[in-house]
Amino acid sequence: MRIMAQVCMVMNIDKCIGCHTCSVTCKQTWTNRPGTEYVYFNNVETKPGLGYPARYEDQEQWKGGWELDRKGRLRLRGGSRLRRLASIFYNPDLPTIDEYHDPFTYDYDRLITAPAGTKSPSVSARSALTGRDMVPSWGANWEDDLAGAPARALHDPNIEAMSEKVKLDFESVFMFYLPRICEHCLNPSCVASCPSGAMYKREEDGIVLVDQDRCRGWRFCVSGCPYKKVYFNHRTGKAEKCTLCFPRIEAGLPTICSETCPGRLRYLGLMLYDADAVMAAAATPDAEDLYEAQRDVFLDPNDPEVAAAAEAQGIPHDWVVAAQRSPTYALIMRHRVALPLHPEYRTMPMVWYIPPLSPVADAATAVGYEENADVIFGAIDTLRIPLEYLANLFTAGRISPVRDALRRLALVRTVMRANQLGQHPDVDLSDVGLTEDDAEDLFRLLAIARYEDRYVIPPAHAEQAGRLLAQHAQTGCSLDTDGGPGMGGTEDDGSGVESFHLNRRDSDDVAVAGRDATGRLHLLVNETPATGGAL
């Protein structure tokens, strides 16, 4: 048994109001610069819908993640290593910018400098790739609140995977928001696809990163990730991805997207897992068993043997304690309300989701029922469309784990509500495998948990500080170019974990003429900003 620790996120979908604050703050922090205009490390999709990039979930087309060969062994869907090296000159599985969206801006100057007159001045969209006028026709959030759903939503791969009958019932419409970031997978196919070895998983906390100095732009990580959460910076020619805000995590702070979420729907905590068991679990023959298989890989930090073994294998004591307090462990393992996104990709994703009860509860209340357990149970079972849809998202199609999670959520709601009203509900929590304590704990976690309960993140160890800085320089350097926020560690005072200061450098202090703010050269960056009309 090789015990490793991983920072894990759980999102409670029911609480997502689709405000996109997470996307915006992440963008401001990490991708607000030329070359990454189209990139959203965090995006919020309306489901059902095609998603971003369009139809990324269709692995028949994009060939992301892993599959089993005829002998049941794990292999990359994108083909063998040899095939990748032979097709390095052209990657057949890469989406183009049109699947994400042609990024655009406006010539705001024209609004300000227009001469006085009777007509209001107007501007049209301008492509950030070419500097030319363009008509936007798709975007990261084109389908917000089911916009265009009649034409498109039926092409959602999760809908297409449903039985014929269900398709026709689509009039009984439902929707919810799905915020997505990199899954920081236990078995990351992006890392496995990178021929240069530039991508890696950090041993200490499992964060998956791209070494900007070793990336050679072969762009196989982009197609290798089934969630399409590695992006190609079209100015630097290098891959970039969600960093899980590692400078913050190292300091014991939650990620930007979690911190700024008004719905407070995100949880961050440690999971201990058996690294030796990952490969076998990922190769589970029946995809529907993958959810349980991944749960089996996680270790119980409260088990004294596990705790002792973890410390013996070098995991610091405070990390083991943090793992014991982990809210993600409670939601995934103890209460079984959180589910993985698309376990059938076999990457063992580590951002899990509490499925939304609202499509079901809404439907039940819409027809005039009280929100009580029996009715909701009935509704959960009869509303097969959302249920099957959710199962396609979270359990490779197996209905029971989704139904059980929803029942638990419904029952906790009913019980707590009755308690508030001084009633004595006639429900049996053991129906759904909960105790009174569990219900109380689940209520506390889902409804009233405070900052320090939602985010249990042990800081990186100070004795590693000087060494951490070297890594900041490797991954952060692209952020220093092209108007990046200037995270670069090289000018730092050397104090390590404290190395991120929000205001440490004016972000206007940017790269000019291919030389970034640290004085590093980048010969291949085109000096003329594309938006300035490169042509």
Partner 1 sequence: MSGTQGITGFQLLWWVILPYLALTTFVIGHVWRYRYDQFGWTSRSTELQEKKLLKWGSPIFHYATFGAIAGHVIGILIPESWTHAVGIPENYYHWFSAAAGTAAAVGIVVGIGFLAYRRLFVPRVRATTSAVDWLTLILLAIVIALGIAETVGVNLLGSAYDYRQSVALWFRGLFVANPDVRAIANAPLLYQVHATAAWAILIVWPFSRLVHAWSYPVWYLWRPFVVYRSRVAAHPNEPGTSGRRWRSIGTRY
**Side chain identity at residue 486, one-letter code:** G
Q: Kindly indicate which of the ranges 212-220, 227-235, 376-384, 480-488 contains the residues binding ligand SF4, using the contact rule CB under 6 A.
A: 227-235
364 is a contact residue toward ligand SF4 (CB under 6 A) = no
Encoded one letter per residue, x for contact with ligand HEM by CB under 6 A and - for no contact, window 72-111 reads ----------------xx----------------------
How is residue 154 written in tokens? 């039926």
Q: How far apart are CA 165 and CA 380, in angstroms?
A: 18
Q: Residue 262 or residue 519: which is nearer to partner 1 going by CB?
A: 519
The three-state DSSP-derived secondary structure of 70-95 is CCCCEEECCCCHHHHHHCCCCCCCCC
Cβ contacts of 328 within 8 Å, gap of 6 or more = 8, 9, 10, 267, 268, 269, 270, 271, 338, 352
Q: Kindly indicate which of the ranges 41-49, 208-216, 253-261, 335-343 contains the residues binding partner 1, using the contact rule CB under 8 A.
A: 208-216
**Interface size with ligand HEM, residues (CB under 6 A):** 3
Residue 226 C-alpha from the chain's centroid: 12
Question: For ligand SF4, which residue of 38, 41, 176, 352 counts as binding (CB under 6 A)?
Answer: 41
**Side chain identity at residue 44, one-letter code:** V
62 is a contact residue toward partner 1 (CB under 8 A) = no
The three-state DSSP-derived secondary structure of 136-155 is CCCCCCCCHHHCCHHHHHHH
Q: How far apart are CA 388 and CA 385, in angstroms?
A: 5
47 binds, among ligand SF4, ligand HEM, partner 1, none (CB under 5 to 8 A by kind): none
Between residue 161 and residue 200, which ones bind partner 1 under the rule CB under 8 A?
187-188, 191-192, 194-197, 199-200
Residue 298, strand partner residues: 273
- List the one residue out of 183, 265, 245, 228 whose CA is nearest residue 59: 228
478 is a contact residue toward partner 1 (CB under 8 A) = yes
Question: For partner 1, which residue of 60, 71, 72, 96 counts as binding (CB under 8 A)?
Answer: 96
Encoded one letter per residue, x for contact with ligand HEM by CB under 6 A and - for no contact, window 43-62 reads --------------------
535 binds, among ligand SF4, partner 1, ligand HEM, none (CB under 5 to 8 A by kind): partner 1
225 is a contact residue toward ligand SF4 (CB under 6 A) = yes
39 binds, among partner 1, ligand SF4, ligand HEM, none (CB under 5 to 8 A by kind): none
- List the one residue out of 395, 442, 390 whose CA is nearest residue 416: 442
Q: Residue 218 or residue 377: which is nearer to ligand SF4 going by CB?
A: 218
Question: For ligand SF4, which residue of 54, 159, 245, 468 counts as binding (CB under 6 A)?
Answer: 245
Q: Residue 236 or residue 243: which is nearer to partner 1 going by CB?
A: 236
Q: Residue 6 or residue 414: which is nearer to ligand SF4 going by CB?
A: 6
User: Which residue's CB comes closest to ligand HEM?
Assistant: 88
Q: Of all helices (H) and strands (E), which one includes residue 220?
A: helix 220-224
**Interface size with ligand SF4, residues (CB under 6 A):** 26
Q: Is 71 exposed, middle or buried (0-12, 13-18, 19+ CB in 10 A)?
A: exposed
129 binds, among ligand HEM, partner 1, ligand SF4, none (CB under 5 to 8 A by kind): partner 1
**Side chain identity at residue 166, one-letter code:** V
510 is a contact residue toward ligand SF4 (CB under 6 A) = no
Cβ contacts of 141 within 8 Å, gap of 6 or more = 20, 23, 43, 44, 45, 46, 52
The three-state DSSP-derived secondary structure of 261-274 is CCCCCEEEEEEEEE
Q: How many CA atoms lie within 13 A of 91 on its CB side?
A: 22
Phi first, then psi, for residue 3 (nearest 5°) are -90, 130
DSSP string, 355-387: --SHHHHHHHHHTT--S-HHHHHHHHHH-HHHH
DSSP string, 473-500: HHHHHHHHSTT-----STTS-S-GGGG-
Q: In whole angstroms, how close is the CB of 190 to ligand SF4 at the nearest point?
A: 3
189 is a contact residue toward ligand SF4 (CB under 6 A) = yes
Residue 352, strand partner residues: 10, 340
Q: Kindly indicate which of the ranges 10-18, 202-210, 291-299, 331-339 contains the residues binding partner 1, using the contact rule CB under 8 A.
A: 202-210
Q: In whole angstroms, how close is the CB of 23 to partner 1 at the nearest point?
A: 20
Q: Kindly indicate which of the ranges 164-172, 226-234, 327-335, 477-485 contains the residues binding ligand SF4, using the contact rule CB under 6 A.
A: 226-234
- List the one residue out of 291, 297, 295 whose CA is nearest residue 276: 297
Between residue 209 and residue 248, which ones bind ligand HEM under the rule CB under 6 A?
218
299 binds, among ligand SF4, partner 1, ligand HEM, none (CB under 5 to 8 A by kind): none
523 is a contact residue toward ligand HEM (CB under 6 A) = no
Q: Is the dihedral of CA 307, 311, 312, 315 positive or negative?
A: positive
**Interface size with partner 1, residues (CB under 8 A):** 74
Q: In whole angstroms, how close is the CB of 197 to partner 1 at the nearest point?
A: 5
Q: Residue 210 or residue 272: which is nearer to ligand HEM going by CB?
A: 210
Q: Is 48 exposed, middle or buried (0-12, 13-18, 19+ CB in 10 A)?
A: buried
Q: Residue 191 or residue 261: which is nearer to partner 1 going by CB?
A: 191
Contact positions toward ligand HEM, by CB under 6 A?
Answer: 88-89, 218
